Amino acid sequence: MPRPSAARVNKAFAAPPDRALGGGRWHTCGLNRPPECGRIGTKVEHRSACDRAADGSLKRDSAVTAPVRKVIHVDMDAFYASVEQRDDPALRGRPVAVGGSRERGVVAAASYEARVFGVRSAMPSVTARRLCPDLVFVRPRFEVYRGISEEIRTVFSEHTPVIEPLSLDEAYLDVTENLQGLPTATLVARAIRAAIRERTGLVASAGVSYNKFLAKVASDYRKPDALFVITPEMGPAFVEDLAIGRFHGIGPVTETKMRRLGIHTGRDLKARSLEELTAILGSAAPYYHGVARGIDERPVRAHRIRKSIGAENTFSDDSADLDVLAERLAPILDKVAGACAAKGLRGRTVTLKVKFSDFAQVTRARSLASPVGDRASLEAISLGLLRDLYPLRRSVRLLGVALSALDHGESPEPLQLGLAI
Protein backbone atom coordinates (compact mmCIF):
# COMPACT_ATOMS: atom_id res chain seq x y z
CA MET A 1 0.00 0.00 0.00
CA PRO A 2 1.48 3.43 -0.89
CA ARG A 3 2.86 5.79 1.72
CA PRO A 4 0.33 8.45 2.82
CA SER A 5 0.70 11.88 1.27
CA ALA A 6 1.87 14.85 3.33
CA ALA A 7 -1.62 16.32 3.06
CA ARG A 8 -3.17 13.17 4.49
CA VAL A 9 -0.62 13.09 7.30
CA ASN A 10 -1.40 16.67 8.27
CA LYS A 11 -5.15 16.06 8.05
CA ALA A 12 -4.77 13.11 10.35
CA PHE A 13 -2.74 15.16 12.79
CA ALA A 14 -5.49 17.78 12.82
CA ALA A 15 -7.84 15.30 14.45
CA PRO A 16 -8.89 15.97 18.05
CA PRO A 17 -6.42 14.54 20.59
CA ASP A 18 -8.82 11.88 21.90
CA ARG A 19 -9.30 10.51 18.39
CA ALA A 20 -5.63 10.71 17.54
CA LEU A 21 -4.91 8.69 20.67
CA GLY A 22 -7.17 5.77 20.07
CA GLY A 23 -10.89 6.64 20.05
CA GLY A 24 -12.93 5.10 17.23
CA ARG A 25 -10.82 4.22 14.18
CA TRP A 26 -7.97 6.56 15.13
CA HIS A 27 -4.92 5.35 16.95
CA THR A 28 -1.53 6.29 18.30
CA CYS A 29 -0.09 6.37 14.82
CA GLY A 30 -2.22 9.46 14.15
CA LEU A 31 -3.52 8.01 10.89
CA ASN A 32 -6.95 6.63 9.99
CA ARG A 33 -5.61 3.60 8.16
CA PRO A 34 -1.80 3.78 8.08
CA PRO A 35 0.07 1.50 5.65
CA GLU A 36 1.15 -0.86 8.42
CA CYS A 37 -2.48 -1.30 9.48
CA GLY A 38 -4.05 -1.57 6.03
CA ARG A 39 -4.73 -5.28 6.30
CA ILE A 40 -5.60 -5.36 9.99
CA GLY A 41 -9.27 -5.63 10.76
CA THR A 42 -10.03 -5.72 14.46
CA LYS A 43 -9.74 -2.75 16.78
CA VAL A 44 -7.40 -4.58 19.13
CA GLU A 45 -5.17 -5.73 16.28
CA HIS A 46 -5.21 -2.23 14.81
CA ARG A 47 -4.10 -0.75 18.12
CA SER A 48 -1.30 -3.28 18.45
CA ALA A 49 -0.05 -2.59 14.94
CA CYS A 50 -0.23 1.17 15.39
CA ASP A 51 1.70 1.02 18.62
CA ARG A 52 4.35 -1.17 17.05
CA ALA A 53 4.56 1.16 14.05
CA ALA A 54 5.05 4.14 16.35
CA ASP A 55 7.98 2.35 17.93
CA GLY A 56 9.48 1.24 14.64
CA SER A 57 9.08 -2.44 15.47
CA LEU A 58 6.68 -3.06 12.57
CA LYS A 59 8.76 -2.62 9.42
CA ARG A 60 7.60 -2.28 5.85
CA ASP A 61 10.99 -3.11 4.40
CA SER A 62 12.59 -6.30 5.60
CA ALA A 63 15.95 -4.87 4.59
CA VAL A 64 15.69 -2.27 7.35
CA THR A 65 17.52 -3.80 10.29
CA ALA A 66 18.85 -0.83 12.25
CA PRO A 67 17.05 -0.50 15.60
CA VAL A 68 14.78 2.51 15.88
CA ARG A 69 15.14 4.57 19.01
CA LYS A 70 12.12 5.28 21.19
CA VAL A 71 12.22 8.79 22.62
CA ILE A 72 9.64 10.56 24.78
CA HIS A 73 9.61 14.28 25.50
CA VAL A 74 7.54 15.15 28.58
CA ASP A 75 6.56 18.76 29.23
CA MET A 76 4.45 19.85 32.20
CA ASP A 77 1.66 22.17 31.06
CA ALA A 78 2.12 25.74 32.41
CA PHE A 79 3.97 24.13 35.31
CA TYR A 80 4.52 26.96 37.80
CA ALA A 81 1.13 28.54 37.12
CA SER A 82 -0.61 25.15 37.32
CA VAL A 83 0.98 24.49 40.72
CA GLU A 84 -0.29 27.83 42.00
CA GLN A 85 -3.79 27.16 40.65
CA ARG A 86 -3.75 23.69 42.17
CA ASP A 87 -2.80 25.03 45.59
CA ASP A 88 -5.06 28.11 45.55
CA PRO A 89 -8.61 27.44 44.32
CA ALA A 90 -9.20 31.21 44.00
CA LEU A 91 -6.73 31.27 41.09
CA ARG A 92 -8.42 28.54 39.07
CA GLY A 93 -9.90 29.77 35.83
CA ARG A 94 -8.16 33.13 36.17
CA PRO A 95 -5.21 34.50 34.14
CA VAL A 96 -2.13 33.97 36.32
CA ALA A 97 1.48 35.05 35.88
CA VAL A 98 4.19 33.65 38.12
CA GLY A 99 7.14 35.96 38.74
CA GLY A 100 7.76 39.67 38.55
CA SER A 101 5.11 42.13 39.65
CA ARG A 102 2.67 44.43 37.94
CA GLU A 103 5.33 47.12 37.67
CA ARG A 104 8.64 45.38 37.02
CA GLY A 105 10.40 42.09 36.38
CA VAL A 106 9.58 39.36 33.89
CA VAL A 107 6.98 36.61 33.72
CA ALA A 108 8.41 33.21 34.64
CA ALA A 109 5.28 31.30 33.64
CA ALA A 110 1.77 32.08 32.43
CA SER A 111 -1.41 30.07 32.87
CA TYR A 112 -3.33 29.05 29.77
CA GLU A 113 -5.99 31.61 30.69
CA ALA A 114 -3.28 34.29 30.46
CA ARG A 115 -1.85 32.91 27.23
CA VAL A 116 -5.16 33.60 25.51
CA PHE A 117 -4.27 37.29 25.88
CA GLY A 118 -0.77 36.79 24.49
CA VAL A 119 1.04 36.64 27.84
CA ARG A 120 4.16 34.46 27.62
CA SER A 121 7.12 33.49 29.78
CA ALA A 122 10.15 35.82 29.64
CA MET A 123 7.81 38.72 28.83
CA PRO A 124 8.30 41.97 30.79
CA SER A 125 5.61 42.31 33.44
CA VAL A 126 4.59 45.73 32.14
CA THR A 127 3.88 44.24 28.71
CA ALA A 128 1.96 41.34 30.24
CA ARG A 129 -0.22 43.70 32.27
CA ARG A 130 -0.94 45.79 29.19
CA LEU A 131 -2.07 42.70 27.30
CA CYS A 132 -4.15 41.38 30.20
CA PRO A 133 -5.24 44.06 32.72
CA ASP A 134 -6.84 41.41 34.97
CA LEU A 135 -3.65 39.35 35.16
CA VAL A 136 -2.95 38.04 38.67
CA PHE A 137 0.75 38.13 39.60
CA VAL A 138 1.96 35.43 42.00
CA ARG A 139 5.38 35.27 43.63
CA PRO A 140 7.27 32.13 42.57
CA ARG A 141 7.83 29.32 45.08
CA PHE A 142 10.82 27.55 43.60
CA GLU A 143 11.32 25.19 46.52
CA VAL A 144 7.78 23.91 45.99
CA TYR A 145 8.37 23.53 42.25
CA ARG A 146 11.63 21.67 42.86
CA GLY A 147 9.90 19.27 45.23
CA ILE A 148 7.20 18.48 42.67
CA SER A 149 9.85 18.15 39.98
CA GLU A 150 11.54 15.47 42.07
CA GLU A 151 8.24 13.58 42.30
CA ILE A 152 7.95 13.73 38.52
CA ARG A 153 11.55 12.60 38.12
CA THR A 154 10.74 9.60 40.31
CA VAL A 155 7.95 8.66 37.90
CA PHE A 156 10.41 8.86 35.00
CA SER A 157 12.98 6.72 36.81
CA GLU A 158 10.42 3.95 37.28
CA HIS A 159 10.41 3.51 33.51
CA THR A 160 13.98 4.33 32.39
CA PRO A 161 17.34 5.40 33.81
CA VAL A 162 18.09 7.40 30.65
CA ILE A 163 16.60 10.78 31.55
CA GLU A 164 17.82 14.13 30.22
CA PRO A 165 16.21 16.91 32.25
CA LEU A 166 15.94 20.24 30.45
CA SER A 167 14.42 22.14 33.37
CA LEU A 168 12.20 21.51 36.39
CA ASP A 169 9.23 20.79 34.13
CA GLU A 170 10.66 19.20 31.00
CA ALA A 171 12.76 16.16 30.08
CA TYR A 172 13.71 13.70 27.36
CA LEU A 173 13.49 9.98 28.07
CA ASP A 174 15.03 7.17 26.05
CA VAL A 175 12.68 4.20 26.44
CA THR A 176 14.11 1.99 23.70
CA GLU A 177 14.39 -0.40 26.63
CA ASN A 178 12.02 0.30 29.52
CA LEU A 179 12.04 -1.02 33.07
CA GLN A 180 8.36 -1.99 33.18
CA GLY A 181 8.58 -4.23 30.13
CA LEU A 182 5.85 -2.33 28.28
CA PRO A 183 5.76 -3.29 24.60
CA THR A 184 5.65 0.23 23.15
CA ALA A 185 6.88 3.73 23.86
CA THR A 186 3.32 4.98 23.49
CA LEU A 187 2.21 2.82 26.41
CA VAL A 188 5.15 4.09 28.47
CA ALA A 189 4.12 7.68 27.77
CA ARG A 190 0.52 6.94 28.73
CA ALA A 191 1.64 5.35 31.99
CA ILE A 192 3.90 8.29 32.82
CA ARG A 193 1.19 10.87 32.18
CA ALA A 194 -1.30 8.93 34.30
CA ALA A 195 1.16 8.55 37.19
CA ILE A 196 2.04 12.26 37.14
CA ARG A 197 -1.63 13.21 37.26
CA GLU A 198 -2.35 10.76 40.07
CA ARG A 199 0.62 11.72 42.26
CA THR A 200 0.78 15.49 41.72
CA GLY A 201 -2.65 16.51 40.45
CA LEU A 202 -0.93 18.16 37.48
CA VAL A 203 -1.15 17.60 33.75
CA ALA A 204 1.72 16.71 31.42
CA SER A 205 1.91 16.58 27.65
CA ALA A 206 4.11 13.99 25.97
CA GLY A 207 5.53 13.48 22.52
CA VAL A 208 6.69 10.10 21.24
CA SER A 209 8.97 9.67 18.27
CA TYR A 210 12.20 8.15 17.05
CA ASN A 211 14.44 11.15 17.83
CA LYS A 212 14.64 14.12 20.17
CA PHE A 213 13.67 16.80 17.67
CA LEU A 214 10.44 15.10 16.64
CA ALA A 215 9.57 14.04 20.19
CA LYS A 216 9.72 17.68 21.29
CA VAL A 217 7.69 18.83 18.29
CA ALA A 218 5.13 16.14 19.12
CA SER A 219 4.77 17.12 22.78
CA ASP A 220 4.08 20.71 21.81
CA TYR A 221 1.76 19.93 18.92
CA ARG A 222 -1.45 19.30 20.87
CA LYS A 223 -0.78 20.97 24.24
CA PRO A 224 -2.19 21.06 26.81
CA ASP A 225 -2.96 17.60 28.18
CA ALA A 226 -2.05 15.62 25.09
CA LEU A 227 -0.07 12.62 23.96
CA PHE A 228 1.06 12.85 20.35
CA VAL A 229 3.04 10.37 18.26
CA ILE A 230 5.15 10.92 15.15
CA THR A 231 6.05 7.56 13.65
CA PRO A 232 9.12 6.78 11.53
CA GLU A 233 6.79 6.52 8.53
CA MET A 234 5.31 9.95 9.15
CA GLY A 235 8.40 11.88 10.24
CA PRO A 236 9.88 13.21 6.98
CA ALA A 237 6.52 14.27 5.51
CA PHE A 238 5.46 15.84 8.79
CA VAL A 239 8.62 17.94 9.00
CA GLU A 240 8.20 19.17 5.43
CA ASP A 241 4.94 20.93 6.28
CA LEU A 242 6.12 22.21 9.67
CA ALA A 243 6.24 26.01 9.90
CA ILE A 244 9.80 27.23 10.30
CA GLY A 245 8.92 29.00 13.54
CA ARG A 246 8.05 25.64 15.12
CA PHE A 247 11.59 24.32 14.71
CA HIS A 248 13.05 24.31 18.20
CA GLY A 249 15.90 26.82 18.48
CA ILE A 250 14.70 29.12 15.73
CA GLY A 251 13.66 32.31 17.48
CA PRO A 252 11.74 35.31 16.12
CA VAL A 253 14.83 37.10 14.75
CA THR A 254 16.06 34.04 12.88
CA GLU A 255 12.55 33.21 11.69
CA THR A 256 12.14 36.70 10.21
CA LYS A 257 15.48 36.44 8.43
CA MET A 258 14.66 33.00 7.04
CA ARG A 259 11.24 34.09 5.82
CA ARG A 260 12.87 36.99 3.99
CA LEU A 261 15.00 34.38 2.23
CA GLY A 262 11.93 32.36 1.24
CA ILE A 263 12.25 29.68 3.95
CA HIS A 264 8.77 29.28 5.43
CA THR A 265 8.48 25.54 6.08
CA GLY A 266 10.54 22.44 6.59
CA ARG A 267 10.17 21.75 2.88
CA ASP A 268 11.84 25.08 2.07
CA LEU A 269 14.59 24.33 4.58
CA LYS A 270 15.15 20.89 3.08
CA ALA A 271 15.51 22.42 -0.39
CA ARG A 272 18.56 24.43 0.69
CA SER A 273 22.02 22.91 0.46
CA LEU A 274 24.25 22.60 3.48
CA GLU A 275 26.43 25.37 2.06
CA GLU A 276 23.44 27.71 1.73
CA LEU A 277 22.30 26.94 5.27
CA THR A 278 25.81 27.53 6.61
CA ALA A 279 25.72 31.05 5.18
CA ILE A 280 22.44 31.63 7.03
CA LEU A 281 22.82 29.62 10.24
CA GLY A 282 26.55 29.24 10.73
CA SER A 283 27.62 26.31 12.90
CA ALA A 284 23.99 25.28 13.49
CA ALA A 285 23.52 24.50 9.78
CA PRO A 286 24.32 20.74 9.92
CA TYR A 287 21.75 20.23 12.68
CA TYR A 288 18.95 21.94 10.76
CA HIS A 289 20.02 20.28 7.51
CA GLY A 290 19.41 16.97 9.27
CA VAL A 291 16.17 17.71 11.10
CA ALA A 292 14.65 19.09 7.90
CA ARG A 293 14.89 15.48 6.73
CA GLY A 294 13.57 14.05 9.99
CA ILE A 295 17.08 13.11 11.13
CA ASP A 296 18.42 13.88 14.61
CA GLU A 297 21.17 11.65 15.93
CA ARG A 298 21.57 13.41 19.29
CA PRO A 299 21.42 10.88 22.12
CA VAL A 300 19.35 11.33 25.25
CA ARG A 301 22.07 12.19 27.75
CA ALA A 302 21.44 11.49 31.41
CA HIS A 303 22.80 13.78 34.12
CA ARG A 304 24.26 16.45 31.89
CA ILE A 305 24.74 19.62 33.91
CA ARG A 306 23.79 22.98 32.43
CA LYS A 307 26.78 25.30 32.43
CA SER A 308 25.25 28.57 31.27
CA ILE A 309 22.19 30.49 30.18
CA GLY A 310 22.64 33.01 27.40
CA ALA A 311 21.06 35.04 24.63
CA GLU A 312 22.41 37.20 21.83
CA ASN A 313 21.10 39.29 18.97
CA THR A 314 22.62 40.42 15.69
CA PHE A 315 21.35 43.83 14.62
CA SER A 316 20.14 44.92 11.20
CA ASP A 317 22.34 48.04 11.45
CA ASP A 318 25.55 48.62 13.39
CA SER A 319 25.88 51.29 16.07
CA ALA A 320 28.47 52.69 18.47
CA ASP A 321 26.01 54.86 20.41
CA LEU A 322 25.81 53.76 24.05
CA ASP A 323 22.15 54.71 24.43
CA VAL A 324 21.23 52.76 21.30
CA LEU A 325 23.19 49.71 22.43
CA ALA A 326 21.66 49.89 25.91
CA GLU A 327 18.21 49.86 24.30
CA ARG A 328 19.19 46.88 22.14
CA LEU A 329 20.51 45.08 25.18
CA ALA A 330 17.09 45.22 26.86
CA PRO A 331 15.37 42.31 25.03
CA ILE A 332 18.48 40.18 25.48
CA LEU A 333 18.35 40.77 29.23
CA ASP A 334 14.63 39.97 29.20
CA LYS A 335 15.37 36.57 27.66
CA VAL A 336 18.13 35.68 30.10
CA ALA A 337 16.23 36.88 33.17
CA GLY A 338 13.10 35.11 31.95
CA ALA A 339 15.00 31.87 31.48
CA CYS A 340 16.51 32.18 34.95
CA ALA A 341 13.07 32.66 36.42
CA ALA A 342 11.53 29.84 34.40
CA LYS A 343 14.33 27.39 35.26
CA GLY A 344 14.78 28.53 38.86
CA LEU A 345 18.48 29.25 38.29
CA ARG A 346 20.98 31.94 39.27
CA GLY A 347 24.66 32.38 38.43
CA ARG A 348 27.84 33.97 39.73
CA THR A 349 29.46 35.08 36.47
CA VAL A 350 27.96 37.51 33.96
CA THR A 351 29.63 37.66 30.54
CA LEU A 352 29.07 40.31 27.88
CA LYS A 353 29.81 39.38 24.27
CA VAL A 354 30.42 42.12 21.70
CA LYS A 355 30.98 41.58 17.98
CA PHE A 356 32.07 44.59 15.95
CA SER A 357 31.33 45.65 12.39
CA ASP A 358 34.60 44.06 11.19
CA PHE A 359 33.54 40.78 12.89
CA ALA A 360 36.19 41.10 15.59
CA GLN A 361 34.82 39.88 18.90
CA VAL A 362 35.54 40.58 22.57
CA THR A 363 34.06 39.30 25.81
CA ARG A 364 34.09 40.86 29.25
CA ALA A 365 33.02 39.08 32.42
CA ARG A 366 32.36 39.87 36.05
CA SER A 367 32.28 37.26 38.81
CA LEU A 368 30.20 37.79 41.92
CA ALA A 369 30.30 36.59 45.50
CA SER A 370 26.56 35.81 45.46
CA PRO A 371 24.53 34.39 42.56
CA VAL A 372 22.12 36.62 40.62
CA GLY A 373 19.39 35.99 38.08
CA ASP A 374 17.06 38.95 38.33
CA ARG A 375 16.84 41.41 35.48
CA ALA A 376 17.92 44.46 37.48
CA SER A 377 21.20 42.84 38.53
CA LEU A 378 21.89 41.49 35.05
CA GLU A 379 21.22 44.91 33.54
CA ALA A 380 23.47 46.77 35.97
CA ILE A 381 26.37 44.37 35.45
CA SER A 382 26.00 44.10 31.65
CA LEU A 383 25.75 47.86 31.15
CA GLY A 384 28.77 48.34 33.39
CA LEU A 385 30.78 45.91 31.26
CA LEU A 386 29.61 47.67 28.11
CA ARG A 387 30.53 51.14 29.40
CA ASP A 388 34.01 49.88 30.27
CA LEU A 389 34.63 49.30 26.55
CA TYR A 390 34.19 52.97 25.70
CA PRO A 391 35.33 54.84 23.76
CA LEU A 392 34.65 52.44 20.87
CA ARG A 393 36.67 52.62 17.67
CA ARG A 394 34.19 50.47 15.73
CA SER A 395 30.44 50.09 15.67
CA VAL A 396 28.74 47.02 17.16
CA ARG A 397 26.79 44.43 15.16
CA LEU A 398 26.02 41.88 17.91
CA LEU A 399 25.52 41.84 21.67
CA GLY A 400 25.14 38.83 23.90
CA VAL A 401 24.80 38.17 27.62
CA ALA A 402 25.51 34.87 29.36
CA LEU A 403 25.17 33.79 32.97
CA SER A 404 27.45 30.97 34.13
CA ALA A 405 28.75 29.36 37.33
CA LEU A 406 25.12 28.46 37.89
CA ASP A 407 23.73 27.79 41.32
CA HIS A 408 21.58 24.66 41.05
CA GLY A 409 21.09 21.22 42.46
CA GLU A 410 20.84 19.35 39.17
CA SER A 411 20.16 20.93 35.80
CA PRO A 412 20.91 19.88 32.24
CA GLU A 413 22.79 21.20 29.28
CA PRO A 414 23.67 24.78 28.29
CA LEU A 415 20.68 26.80 27.17
CA GLN A 416 21.08 29.29 24.31
CA LEU A 417 18.01 31.41 23.77
CA GLY A 418 17.34 32.34 20.20
CA LEU A 419 19.71 31.80 17.31
CA ALA A 420 21.91 34.69 16.26
CA ILE A 421 22.39 35.26 12.55
Task: List active site positions.
Answer: 170
* Residue 11, C-beta contacts closer than 8 angstroms, at least 6 positions apart: none
Cβ proximity of 86 and 96 under 8 Å: no
d(C-alpha 73, C-alpha 264), whole Å: 25
Count, in order, helices (H) and strands (E) of the chain: 16, 13
d(C-alpha 234, C-alpha 229), whole Å: 9
d(C-alpha 119, C-alpha 115), whole Å: 5
Amino acid at the residue 136: V
Nearest-5° Cα angle at 294, 288 to 300: 80
Cβ proximity of 117 and 132 under 8 Å: yes
Nearest-5° Cα angle at 171, 168 to 173: 150
Cβ proximity of 304 and 166 under 8 Å: no
d(C-alpha 261, C-alpha 404), whole Å: 34
d(C-alpha 391, C-alpha 336), whole Å: 27
d(C-alpha 95, C-alpha 113), whole Å: 5
3-state SS class at 405: strand
3-state SS class at 35: helix
State CA 415 to chain mean position distance.
10
3-state SS class at 49: helix
